[in-house]
Amino acid sequence: MSQQIITPELCDWITEQSRAGHPSEAILGAMVGSGWDATVAREALARMLGGAPAAVVPVPPSSSDGYTPGLPEPDLVGRPSEIDAGDRKVKIVLSLREPRVVVFQGLLSDAECDGIVEAATKRLARSETVATNSEGSEVNAARTSDGMFFERCESELIRRVEARIAALLRWPLDHGEGLQVLRYRPGAEYQPHYDYFDPAHAATASILKRGGQRVGTLVMYLNHVEAGGATIFPDIGLDVMPVKGNAVFFSYDRPHPSTQTLHGGAPVIAGEKWIATKWLRQGVFN
């Protein structure tokens, strides 16, 4: 994993947690459990609170315990125009290093897009997000879409797509959540947000037991949108247009705004937008 830096935002967060009455041991545990290196976390606490707890804090398990080191990452050595994803070649449209953002062309065939949409249609319900002040999920005004989740490898089509993603991003198939499919009607949007789990949230400790932090996101476009519906990255001024079969990937090495992975779904102006999202975890998701 890339070097972690103690940012002003992290320092502010530590100060807020301390003022809220959380002991330093709990703050340290939340940071480590959310993906921060224990040594960096201790240094940050010492800097802000005048000393870190002496007790040894568990670090994320090693690869032998079901965790894969580093981050999901396509093989872009030599700046290739396309890469092998196992059963097909996928073209590279755009690649940013900081933050890591890659746009792929032709990740899915038209038939695969149509098959996913058809299978998802009868299972759609109003999309939810992690509940604001408790565990579980809830309907959120910031997310005006309909959605559903496939079980991992629940059909031959889903298995084939997930295997391709695993090969493309060089990340184990079982380190990913099931595909989520979303439909956005005209006017629907998803306001800018982060995909990692907030270390300060009440539900995070429980969520992390199922595979650790999210470390990467792949958004696949399942149809052509008449107007609107771009995936936007406000921090870096990037808009990715929804083109059927294409996808945008981004990764984040810590649960913090310094990753510059703030993103959202711009309102659909005309037509509908269908996407499938794959979230990648540190460890085996179950």
In contact, 74 and 168? CB cutoff 8 Å:
yes
Coil, helix or strand at residue 126 = strand
Q: Are residues 26 and 95 in the same domain?
A: no
By residue range, what is the domain housing residue 132? Answer: 64-281
Query: Which CATH number is 225's domain given?
Result: 2.60.120.620
The tokens of 236 are what? 């870096």
2 assigned to some structural domain: no
148 assigned to some structural domain: yes
What are the C-alpha distances in Å from 220 to residues 14, 18, 117, 179? Answer: 36, 40, 12, 10
Q: Are residues 45 and 73 in the same domain?
A: no
What distance in Å separates the CA atoms of residue 55 and residue 59, rounded to the nearest whole number? 12
In SS3 terms, 30-93 reads as HHHHCCCCHHHHHHHHHHHHCCCCCCCCCCCCCHHHCECCCCCCCCCCCCCCEEECCCCEEEEE
Q: Are residues 93 and 224 in the same domain?
A: yes
Domain count for the chain = 2
Q: Are residues 172 and 96 in the same domain?
A: yes
pLDDT in tens, the chain (286 residues): 446 778 777 887 888 777 777 777 778 877 777 778 777 888 888 777 765 443 433 334 444 456 677 899 999 999 999 999 999 999 999 999 999 999 999 999 999 999 999 999 999 997 755 555 545 444 455 557 899 999 999 999 999 999 999 999 999 999 999 999 999 999 999 999 999 999 989 899 999 999 999 999 999 999 999 999 999 999 999 999 999 999 999 999 999 999 999 999 999 999 999 999 999 999 999 9
What distance in Å separates the CA atoms of residue 96 and residue 261, rounded to the nearest whole number? 12
